[in-house]
Structure formats: C-alpha cells, structure tokens
C-alpha cells in the first residue's frame, strides 16, 4: 500500500470520506515527514497540533455522519507570508522575526474553513523578494532534487515560494500555499517538478498576506497534480470586502469542470518567448508541449506579444516602487525589531532598525523603488513603466483575438545551484522573464511539470489564460499532465 | 477692504493669501478602517489593525466619507470628478504608522468651485467677492505625538490616525486678513449646513495652512510662506498680520523671502520658521496600489445632491424675501443651528419680521446672558410662537412680553400659562386707566403744575407713573391717549 504521506490531496480527501483511513493517521504521517526533513530547511515553524486538530475535526464530522468539508482532513503547508493567528509570521525576515499576529489572513482562514489543517509555516525569500530562496533570513531552502552528475550540489528550490515547492516535491505536505508577484509560484513549481497556479489578480484576497507589491501579489496553490491545485484554489479564492481589489465574483467549481479535452480551444505560441541562450532542452520540451496540446484537440497558432522584452524592466521598476512604500511600516515603532542605539533620535532609530532588520536584496529593492519614485525620476521610470504595463496588457488582449490560451516555458533554465546566481542580481531577475508579463497583466497562469532535463532535473511548461478563465488554464494543464506522465520524484537524501 | 494696502517704510504693499483648510469629515468611522472617530477618547482606544499598519492590512474606502466630501463640493458649486484616485504620500514619522499618508494628489475628488464672501458683513447685500476653490480632496489624518509625558521618550496616540479629512484648497484670491477671516467663517458655515464637518476648531476638526505673500501693487506674485495648522479664525488673521509685517520688513531692508513652512505661536502672536524648501521632503507620491480608482455613478451623485440642505446664501435670500432686513437675515443664517431654530419658528403662524426681530434681540440676548447655545435653548420655537402670537393680538405689550419671556426662561412654562398665572395680560380698560390717571395727577400736583406751565417733557413722567400703578399691564397706546385728554 502507498504510504499515506505520498497521497495527493484528492486521494486524502476521498480516503478520509470513504473511511479508508482516518484524517488523524494522515496528519500524523505528514507531521513525521516534516519532523524528519529539517535538512531541507523548508519549514520555519512546525504546527503539528494545528494539523491534528483539523484532522480530529474531520474524523469527528465523519463519525457524526456529517457531509465533510471540501478539504476535510487535508494537512497543508502555509507560506510564511500569510499571517496566522497565534503562530509566528516572519516573511523570512529579521525585522519580523518575533512577530506573532493576532489575526488570520483571509486565504488561510478560507482553507481552515474548508477543513484543511496546517503542518507549519514555510520558508521563503525574504518578503517574497527572490527567485532562489537565498534571501531568507533563516537560511536558504534546499531543493530535494539533485543532479544525476553524482555531485551533491545543493540546488535552489526556486523562489520566492521555495519552502512550498521543496516541501511539496519532498512529500512533506500534499499541497502548500504560495504567492506570486512575478513568478513566485510558477518558477519554484517548475524547478521542483510540481504544479502551481497563480489565479487572476483579485481572485484571492490579499488581506492578511504580508505585502510585497500590491498591484501584483496574488496567492495560489502549489501541489503535485492539476486536480489538487483546483481543489485548493477553490478553497482559497473568493470575494473579500476587506480587500478593495478583491473580485466580487462567485468561485467557479473548477475541480468539477476539469477536462483534458481541448477540442475547440486555440492555443497561441508567443514567438517573443523564444529567447537567446535558452537551453535546447527547454525548446524541445516546449515543442513537446505543443504536440501534447494538439493531441488533446487544441488548434495551435503562432501569436506575437511584441512588448514582451520590456516586461522585465517594467516589472523591476513597478514591484520595487510598491515595495519601497509597502515596507515603510516596518519602522521599529509599533511591532517587530527595534534597534535603538544609545542616544539615538527617531531618524537614527529608523535607520538602525531597518539596516539591521532587512536583508541585502530587500534593501536593494527598497532603494530601487525609492529612487524610481523620487522627484525628477518618477516620470522617466515609474510613469514609463506603467505605460509599458498597459502595452503588455494590450498585447495579451490582441492575442486573445486569435487564441484562448498561451503555452510557453515557465523558466529559462532548470534549477540552478545555490550560490550560482546570488552574486548577480540581473541574472537572478532574468529567471522571471517568462512569468512576469502575465503578472503585469493580472492573468491566470500555471506551471505543470513536463519532463526532466539531461541532468535529471524537472522542467515546467506554463499555460497563460484570459482573465477569470482559470478553468481553461487548469484544463490545458490537465491535458499536459495526462500526456507527460510525470512520475519522477526526488530520491530521499535528507 | 478689497483695496487693502499695508503701508511700509518705503511705500504701499499688497497682500496675497491662499488657504488650505483641513476639515475633519463627520463620520462614525475612519476613512479606510472601521475604527471609531470620537474626540477625547483614551489614547489608542480607537485604533484598528489597519490604523496601526499591521502587516497585511488593507484600506477599504468608507463611502460615507466620500459622500460627505462630494456633498461639500456640490455646496460650493464645484466640479465633481466621477473618477478620482488615491495616492500615497510617503514619509517616515512616528505618528504615521503606514509610512505614508493616503491622499489624492493627481486626481482629486472635487475640482474647481467658489465661495462668495461679503466684503462688509454688516451689509450682506453689498459688495461680494468670489474666492476660488481649486480642489477638495480626501485624505487620512495622522496620529498625535506627545513629547511632554516622559523625560526621554515621546508617546504616540493613534486615535486620530486614519480619520478622514477634506483638504479644501483655495485660490490665492484673498487680499486682506479680513477677507481670509470672512472666507473661513463662510466655509465653516457651509460645512456645518452640509453636515460634512462640525467646524469645531478648538477640537482640531478644522485647521488652516495659511499661504501669504506680499508685493508692490501691480507687481507679479511674491515668494510665499506657508504657516501650518492654525486653528482659529482669529489666529489665522493674526498670523497673516504678523507674516505681512515680517515680510515687508525683510523686503524693505533689502532681504528676500524664503519659501518655507512656518508655525504660528498663538501665545506670542508670531510665526516661526519650521523648515525651508531645501529641507522639504520628497514625498514620492504614487497611486495607491491597494485601492482601485474611485468611480461614482449617477445614482450616488443624485443622492448626494438630493440630500443637500438649503445653504446659507439661499436661506438668507429667502428670509429677505419675507421682509426681514438683510442684517437680521445674515445674523439668523450665520450658524446652522440658529437657522434651523428660526425655520421651525417660521413654520408656525409667527409673522416673519416680528419673529426675526424677537429672535435676534430677545432670544439671542437671553441665550448670551445664560451662556447657552440655541440647541440648548430653554424656549422652543413653538413656545416662542405662542409668545409672539400674544404680542400680535394685543394681549401683551412689548414690555409685558419681555416679562413673560423672562418667566418662561425661568420656569419653562408656556406664554399663555405665564400670562394666566401671573395676570400679566395687557388691559385697554379705559375706565380703570382713567381712574389711575386721576389718582396719579392728584398725587403729583407739583409736576402737574409744571406741565401745565409748559414743561411738556413731564408727559413721560405721567406715562411712567400710570404704567407703574397699572403694574405694567396697561396698553401703552391707550394710556397715551387718555393722558393727553386728562392733561389737556
């Protein structure tokens, strides 16, 4: 029999409902996995009691003959960017190292309301700023994957949701929450051979999620199958009056709507995503993806997104600009770290606190953001970037006249070694080249595993859809999943 | 007044004044959070997670605050922008938890409007001047720092943090302290009529940033200074007076005015430099990405318009149309509570002119003496109407009415009851009055002789003696007539 902790979300849900096993057995199995995996550094805090309590509630509900909630008995990992009442929430930063919220984020509350339990809080890039998880104050997460070259180089799990990707790929949890600002769900999913979807901006409430860049931040699920992503996203999404940018729409029944039959759908292949220096294996996988979607009944068309090359620079102006303002609240006055040198005045206290509390990448982005918003530079940078953003959105609008979905690689490379790019911020930022355009346009986008490269590392394919059309994105993801037959998993070394 | 000039040592100077008024929006909750807004609560008891800028907290616009700002804009006949947007003004200070104030720089809610002021408030129908209002936008207030509670620490009170303010920005259209005072009083009256701000300057619900410059008549605008947060009409006028004299002194001594922010010291009546342009913050304004643009539909605007009350000028004109003097109409409409009270009185059978005269003299005099506001008046409009009706039908003379009113103030009884209980009814009974007159003449033979001898001024003495003997209840016209006969 399969180990309980190897089951998918759907299998756990069904098994608990059908009495094949108890939710408590599932929670205990995963709690044990989490406890044994400290070498991955995926979890910042373990919350075994939270998982057990949710499991016991599910078991009691079943015993009482009640209809079980949609995620009853499913334990998940929670990215440590979501505020959780009574559980330390750090954004992987020193400045919030000892911060324990009194309130629960809407997304996490929605999951608990759906019957899920929490195994713990997952490591991430500090304030979700990074593509390798190396900016965490609590040390980098290590990917469970290793290259087939016999070396033991520790690989990046992607970022910023690197704790989530690592934990799901290593089967420490069947699913985890992520947040995606410029690719922070999709790129780590691709690096670790799992699935992840960033829904349309506004589907998931941002209330109680520590902000990086408000106009881009969007929560989404990371799990091993497309079905699991659909189940989890249904639980996470929904209108929230506490978030002005939340969409006032009912949550569709995405799981019930799943179908790998793509007849009648047109899939666009954006020619601008064929970038110089992209590994041949990624190009080959992209071609394979096209063949799979054609096989599923889709018509393939070539489309043009002419402003793609400007997306990354625009993103690295807009996101830091918003971040520089969003992170101003961490000032040592009301909560979090306070560094008060002897005789310091208010300004000196701010400087000391923020110098000590933020890591180098966070400081870099605060400085970039402060610069691009400053008088005299605002129009040249911020206003210009907003114009580019509008053009990017228009590119997609025009593409939708020819197709329903877009297929592209998720990232320009497989997982790289820790330390390989951390000295070169530009090389690191280039990781987001395929994920950033859809973020700027607020569109739903998903990464699903397509195969392994020659070194035995996973590669992901990205599907981008029209606003609010998560269903088509999930369906195309399912069509790929059914054909890719991706069963590879990292060998346990931790 | 519009030709206001200040005489310097070297000649005349013109004054140019613009005001930025911060008015706290009357609302039970803050601009972007559900926290309460009552004045005088214990420190940090009216603070939500949003106001304290806890991680992950988001602003949600309170549409009541938006509605009040729109109604205010409509009341000054301003352009209402159906599409507006919130911007962040970024700076670090301990009273600003978010590290930015949510305001509206680029696309304010309310555009161009105007307020008319009377150049002579004694003559409201005389010359008026239109003071342009450039814009009204809504923004968050900051918290409060207290530096005097501890030897080495400052305390922070976030009760005000996030409270909704309207910033009402005038054009530099005022040319004297008196015009600035008239503008502020008029603006305050409009806000209070609309109900969008209580106008309470002592509690900080309304404060003004005062922009002042001087120039030689006909010259282009001079460099201005901005005196921040002045919290009474009197202080605004005093701050302008001081700034004008200071600037003229500097210029006449060959100096230049520095564009700077200044503070007014009400104890000394002087302004002091706070920071110069060189030290000015770079606020890094940009659209708040947590908030969608504010889009107002026709139904919302229609409700705002329909809910506007009659405004001071319209009310004053209506009163004047009823025959009330412009001066009395102006006095009656200056404060919304008085106007409401008077409107209630007009809804009775009271004659407008008599009612206006009685309210402006008798009622206001009594309230002044008692130190009470009209909302707290011991006499209601209905009771006043009863009193006025007794005067109108001859039951009470003017002096009897004063007596009755005094008793009403003391006892709270109605006028008819007072008249009944105290027998204060005026009498025109000629027989009784003639008898008293005969008695008065008999008791004052000396004065009678003098009167007869041509000292006609003594007529008033006999009126007074007769009225006194009648206990003030005799109809004075009848007394006059009968006395004339008796003394003939």
Q: Per-residue pLDDT tens for A17-44?
A: 999 999 999 999 999 999 999 999 999 9
**Cross-chain CB nearest to B55 (options A99, A346, A347):** A99
**A65 backbone φψ class: left, alpha, beta (φ>0; ψ -120 to 50):** left
How does residue A1 score in pLDDT terms, banded at 50, 70 and 90? low
Q: Please say whether the beta carbons of A228 and A75 come within 8 A.
A: no
Chain A residues with CB inside 8 Å of B98's CB?
328-329
pLDDT in the model for residue A427: 80
Across the range A81-96, mean pLDDT stands at: 98
Structure tokens at A366: 């605060």
How does residue B1 score in pLDDT terms, banded at 50, 70 and 90? very low
Marked catalytic residue, from A69, A79, A265, A421:
A79
The rounded distance, in Å, linking the Cα atoms of B447 and A327 is 95
pLDDT per position as a tens digit, B98-146: 999 999 999 999 999 999 998 887 777 788 999 999 999 999 999 999 8
Task: Check pLDDT > 70 for residue B2.
Answer: no
Task: Check pLDDT > 50 for residue A6.
Answer: yes
Structure tokens at A287: 């071609």
Marked catalytic residue, from A160, A165, A422, A447:
A160
**Cross-chain CB nearest to B289 (options A215, A347, A350):** A215
**Cross-chain CB nearest to A322 (options B53, B55, B289):** B289
The rounded distance, in Å, linking the Cα atoms of A190 and A225 is 13
Q: Please say whether the beta carbons of A114 and A71 come within 8 A.
A: yes
Lowest mean pLDDT among A399-408, B171-180, B274-283: B274-283
The alpha-carbon gap from A413 to the nearest alpha carbon of chain B, in Å, equals 32
The alpha-carbon gap from A82 to the nearest alpha carbon of chain B, in Å, equals 8
Q: Chain B residues within 8 A (CB-CB) of chain A?
A: 49, 52-61, 88, 90, 92-94, 97-100, 154, 156, 282, 284-286, 289-292
Average pLDDT in chain B: 92
Marked catalytic residue, from A93, A164, A165, A184:
A184
Chain A residues with CB inside 8 Å of B154's CB?
346
The alpha-carbon gap from A321 to the nearest alpha carbon of chain B, in Å, equals 9
Task: Choose from B47, B58, B61 for mutation: most chain A CBs within 10 A.
Answer: B58
The rounded distance, in Å, linking the Cα atoms of B109 and B67 is 10
Which among B195, B194, B78 is positioned nearest to B136, based on CA atoms? B78
- Examine residue B362 and say whether the peptide bond preceding it is cis (omega within 30 degrees of 0): no
What is the pairing mode between strands B144-146 and B155-157? antiparallel
Which among B187, B239, B173 is positioned nearest to B209, based on CA atoms? B239
Task: Check pLDDT > 70 for residue A425.
Answer: yes
Strands of the sheet containing A458-465, edge to edge, are A43-46, A117-122, A75-79, A175-180, A218-223, A195-198, A445-452, A458-465, A405-409, A266-270, A299-303
Record: contact A335-B54, CB cut-off 8 A = yes
Task: Choose from B33, B55, B94, B288 for mutation: most chain A CBs within 10 A.
Answer: B55
Report CA dihedral (B166, B169, B174, B180) to the nearest 10 degrees. 20
Record: contact B49-A105, CB cut-off 8 A = no
pLDDT per position as a tens digit, A287-308: 999 999 999 999 999 999 999 9
Using the 8-state DSSP alphabet, how is residue B279 labeled?
A: G
Share of chain B above pLDDT 70, in %: 99
The rounded distance, in Å, linking the Cα atoms of A233 and A254 is 8
pLDDT in the model for residue B277: 66
Record: contact B290-A244, CB cut-off 8 A = yes
Q: Please say whether the beta carbons of B399 and B472 come within 8 A.
A: yes
Record: contact B98-A329, CB cut-off 8 A = yes
Domain regions of chain B by residue span: 6-301, 312-422, 430-487
Record: contact A103-B54, CB cut-off 8 A = yes
pLDDT in the model for residue B19: 98
User: Among this protein's residues, is A69 annotated catalytic?
Assistant: no
**Cross-chain CB nearest to B286 (options A210, A241, A382):** A382
Tell me the torsion sign for CA atoms A412, A415, A420, A423.
Answer: positive
Task: Choose from A212, A328, A336 for mutation: most chain B CBs within 10 A.
Answer: A328
Share of chain A above pLDDT 70, in %: 100
Domains in chain A, CATH or no CATH each: 4-264+478-484 (3.90.1300.10)
Chain B residues with CB inside 8 Å of A327's CB?
99
Alpha carbon A324 to chain centroid distance? 22
Record: contact A331-B99, CB cut-off 8 A = yes
Chain A residues with CB inside 8 Å of B88's CB?
325
User: Among this protein's residues, is A79 annotated catalytic?
Assistant: yes
**Cross-chain CB nearest to A321 (options B49, B282, B286):** B286
Lowest mean pLDDT among A101-110, B251-260, B271-280, B439-448: B271-280
Q: How far is CA B328 from CA B124, B348, B354, in A?
A: 10, 19, 11
Across the range B281-309, mean pLDDT stands at: 97
**Cross-chain CB nearest to A244 (options B55, B58, B286):** B58
Q: Residue B412, Cβ neighbours under 10 Å: how many?
A: 11
Structure tokens at A98: 């000892």
**CATH number among 1.10.357.10, 3.30.70.260, 1.10.10.410, 3.10.180.10, domain B430-487:** 1.10.10.410
User: Among this protein's residues, is A184 annotated catalytic?
Assistant: yes
pLDDT per position as a tens digit, B393-432: 888 888 889 989 999 999 989 998 888 888 777 777 888 8
Angle between helices A470-484 and A280-295 (to 10 degrees): 110
Structure tokens at A43: 């979890």
Give me the total of CB pairs closer than 8 Å, taking one residue from chain A and one from chain B.
97
Chain B residues with CB inside 8 Å of A210's CB?
55-56
Record: contact A211-B56, CB cut-off 8 A = yes
Across the range B200-216, mean pLDDT stands at: 94
Q: Please say whether the beta carbons of B444 and B483 come within 8 A.
A: no
What is the pairing mode between strands A405-409 and A266-270? parallel
pLDDT in the model for residue B278: 64
pLDDT in the model for residue B107: 97
The rounded distance, in Å, linking the Cα atoms of A419 and A430 is 16
pLDDT in the model for residue B423: 77
Record: contact A333-B156, CB cut-off 8 A = yes
Alpha carbon B351 to chain centroid distance? 26
How does residue A238 score in pLDDT terms, banded at 50, 70 and 90? very high
Which among B316, B368, B321, B365 is positioned nearest to B342, based on CA atoms? B316
Label each residue of chain A as H, E or C: CCCHHHCCHHHHHHHHHHCCCCHHHHHHHHHHHHHHCHHHCCEEEECHHHHHHHHHHHHHHHHCCCCCCCCCCCEEEEECCECECCECCCCCCCCCCCCCCCCCCHHHHHHHHCCCEEEEEECCCHHHCCCCCCCCCCCCCCCCCCCCCCCCCCECCCCCCHHHHHHHHCCCCCEEEEEECCCCCHHHHHHHCCEEEECCCCCCCCCCECCCCCCCCEEEEEECCHHHHHHHHHHHCCCCCCCCCCCCCCCCCCCCCCCCCCCCCEEEEEHHHCCCCCCHHHHHHHHHHHHHHHHCCCEEEEECCCCHHHHHHHHHHHHHHHHHHHHHHCCCCCCCCCCCCCCCCHHHHHHHHHHHHCCHHHHHHHHHHHHHHCCCCHHHHHHHHHHHHHHHHHHHHHHCCCCCEEEEECCCCCCCECCCCCCCHHHHHHHHCCCHHHHHCCCCEEEEEEEECCCCCEEEEEEEECCCCHHHHHHHHHHHHHHHCCCCCCCCCC
Record: contact B97-A334, CB cut-off 8 A = yes
The alpha-carbon gap from A360 to the nearest alpha carbon of chain B, in Å, equals 20
The residue ranking higher by pLDDT, B474 or A281, is A281
Tell me the torsion sign for CA atoms A44, A50, A54, A59.
Answer: positive
**Cross-chain CB nearest to B60 (options A241, A321, A325):** A241
Structure tokens at A13: 């849900």
Record: contact B286-A214, CB cut-off 8 A = no
Q: What are phi and psi of B103, to 5 degrees?
A: -140, -170
Record: contact A213-B55, CB cut-off 8 A = no
Record: contact B55-A91, CB cut-off 8 A = yes
Q: Please say whether the beta carbons of A216 and A252 come within 8 A.
A: no
The residue ranking higher by pLDDT, B464 or A112, is A112
Task: Choose from A333, A376, A390 for mutation: most chain B CBs within 10 A.
Answer: A333
pLDDT in the model for residue B399: 82
Task: Check pLDDT > 70 for residue A240.
Answer: yes
What value does the CA radius of gyration of chain A take, rounded to a whole number of Å?
21
The residue in chain B having the minimum alpha-carbon distance to the alpha carbon of residue A82 is B56
Give the 3-state secondary structure of residue B157: strand
């Amino acid at each position: 029999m399969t180990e309980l902790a190897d089951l998918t979300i759907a299998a756990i849900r069904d098994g608990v409902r059908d009495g094949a096993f108890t939710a408590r057995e599932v929670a205990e199995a995963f709690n044990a996995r989490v406890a044994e995996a400290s070498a991955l550094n995926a979890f910042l805090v373990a919350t075994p009691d939270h998982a057990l309590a949710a499991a016991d509630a599910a078991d009691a509900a079943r015993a009482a003959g009640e209809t079980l909630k949609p995620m009853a008995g499913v334990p998940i990992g929670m990215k440590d960017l979501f505020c959780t009442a009574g559980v330390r929430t750090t954004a992987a930063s020193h400045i919030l190292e000892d911060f324990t919220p009194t309130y629960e984020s809407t997304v996490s509350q929605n999951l608990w309301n759906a019957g899920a339990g929490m195994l713990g809080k997952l490591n991430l890039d500090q304030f979700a700023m990074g593509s390798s998880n190396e900016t965490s104050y609590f040390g980098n997460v290590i990917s469970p994957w290793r290259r087939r070259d016999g070396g033991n180089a520790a690989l990046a799990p992607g970022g910023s949701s690197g704790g989530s990707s690592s934990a799901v790929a290593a089967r420490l949890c069947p699913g985890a929450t992520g947040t995606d600002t410029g690719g922070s769900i999709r790129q780590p999913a691709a690096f670790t051979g799992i699935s992840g979807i960033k829904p349309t901006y506004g589907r998931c409430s941002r209330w109680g999620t520590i902000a990086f860049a408000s106009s881009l931040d969007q929560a989404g699920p990371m799990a091993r199958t497309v079905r699991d992503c659909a189940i989890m996203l249904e639980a996470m999404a929904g209108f929230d009056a506490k978030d002005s940018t939340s969409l006032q729409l009912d949550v569709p029944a995405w799981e019930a709507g799943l179908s790998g039959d793509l007849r009648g759908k047109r899939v666009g292949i954006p020619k601008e995503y064929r970038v110089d220096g992209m590994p041949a294996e990624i190009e080959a996988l992209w071609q394979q993806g096209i063949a799979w979607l054609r096989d599923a009944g889709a018509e393939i068309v070539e489309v043009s997104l002419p402003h793609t090359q400007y997306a990354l620079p625009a993103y690295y102006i807009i996101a830091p600009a918003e971040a520089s303002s969003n992170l101003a609240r961490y000032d040592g006055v009301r909560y979090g770290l306070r560094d008060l040198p002897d005789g310091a005045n208010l300004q000196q206290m701010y400087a000391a606190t923020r110098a000590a509390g933020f890591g180098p990448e966070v400081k870099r982005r605060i400085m970039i953001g402060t610069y691009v918003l400053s008088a005299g530079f605002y129009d040249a940078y911020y206003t210009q970037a907003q114009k580019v953003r509008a053009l990017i959105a228009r590119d997609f609008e025009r593409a939708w006249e020819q197709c329903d979905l877009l297929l592209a690689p998720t990232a320009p490379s497989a997982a790289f070694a820790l330390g390989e790019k951390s000295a070169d911020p530009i090389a690191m930022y280039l990781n987001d080249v395929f994920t950033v355009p859809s973020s700027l346009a607020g569109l739903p986008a998903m990464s699903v595993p397509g195969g392994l490269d020659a070194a035995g590392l996973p590669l992901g394919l990205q599907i981008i859809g029209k606003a609010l059309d998560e269903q088509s994105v999930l369906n195309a993801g399912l069509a790929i999943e059914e054909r890719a037959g991706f069963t590879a998993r990292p060998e346990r070394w931790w | 007044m519009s030709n206001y000039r200040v005489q310097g040592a070297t000649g005349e100077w013109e004054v140019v004044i613009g005001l930025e008024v911060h008015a706290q929006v009357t609302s039970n909750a803050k601009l972007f959070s559900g926290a309460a807004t009552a004045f005088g609560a214990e420190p940090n008891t009216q603070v939500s997670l949003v106001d304290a800028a806890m991680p992950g907290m988001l602003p949600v616009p309170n549409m009541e605050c938006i509605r009040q700002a729109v109604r205010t804009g409509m009341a000054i006949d301003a352009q209402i922008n159906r599409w507006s947007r919130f911007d962040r003004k970024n700076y670090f200070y301990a009273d600003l938890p978010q590290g930015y104030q949510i305001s509206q720089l680029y696309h304010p809610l309310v555009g161009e409007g105007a307020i008319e002021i009377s150049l002579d408030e004694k003559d409201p129908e005389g010359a008026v001047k239109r003071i342009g209002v450039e814009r009204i936008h809504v923004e968050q207030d900051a918290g409060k720092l207290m530096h005097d509670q501890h030897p080495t620490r400052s305390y922070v009170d976030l009760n005000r943090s996030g409270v909704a303010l309207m910033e009402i920005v005038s054009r530099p259209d005022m040319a004297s302290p008196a015009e600035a005072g008239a503008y502020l009083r008029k603006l305050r009256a409009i806000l209070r009529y609309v109900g969008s701000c209580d106008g309470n300057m002592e509690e900080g619900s309304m404060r003004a940033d005062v922009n002042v410059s001087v120039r030689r008549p006909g010259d282009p605008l001079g460099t201005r200074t901005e005196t921040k947060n002045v919290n009474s009409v009197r202080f605004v006028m005093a701050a302008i007076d001081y700034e004008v004299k200071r600037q003229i002194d500097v210029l006449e001594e060959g100096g230049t005015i520095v564009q700077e922010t200044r503070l007014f010291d009400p104890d000394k009546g002087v302004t002091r430099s706070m920071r110069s342009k060189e030290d000015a913050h770079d606020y890094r304004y940009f659209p708040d990405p947590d908030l969608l643009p504010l889009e107002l539909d026709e139904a919302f605007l229609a409700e705002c318009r329909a809910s506007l009350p009659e405004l001071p000028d319209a009310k004053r004109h209506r009163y004047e149309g009823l025959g009330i003097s412009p001066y009395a109409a102006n006095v009656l409409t200056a404060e919304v509570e008085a106007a409401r009270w008077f409107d209630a009185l007009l809804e009775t059978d009271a004659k407008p002119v008599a009612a206006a005269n009685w309210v402006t003299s008798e009622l206001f005099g009594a309230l002044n003496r008692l130190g009470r506001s009209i909302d707290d008046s011991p006499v209601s409009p209905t009771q006043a109407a009863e009193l006025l009706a007794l005067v109108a039908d001859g039951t009470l003379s003017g002096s009897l009415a004063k007596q009755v009113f005094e008793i009403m103030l003391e006892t709270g009884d109605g006028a008819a009851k007072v008249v009944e209980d105290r027998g204060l009814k005026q009498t025109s009974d000629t027989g009784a009055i003639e008898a008293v007159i005969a008695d008065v003449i008999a008791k004052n033979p000396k004065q009678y002789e003098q009167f007869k001898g041509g000292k006609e001024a003594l007529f008033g003495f006999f009126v007074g003696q007769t009225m006194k003997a009648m206990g003030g209840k005799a109809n004075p016209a009848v007394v006059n007539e009968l006395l004339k006969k008796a003394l003939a």
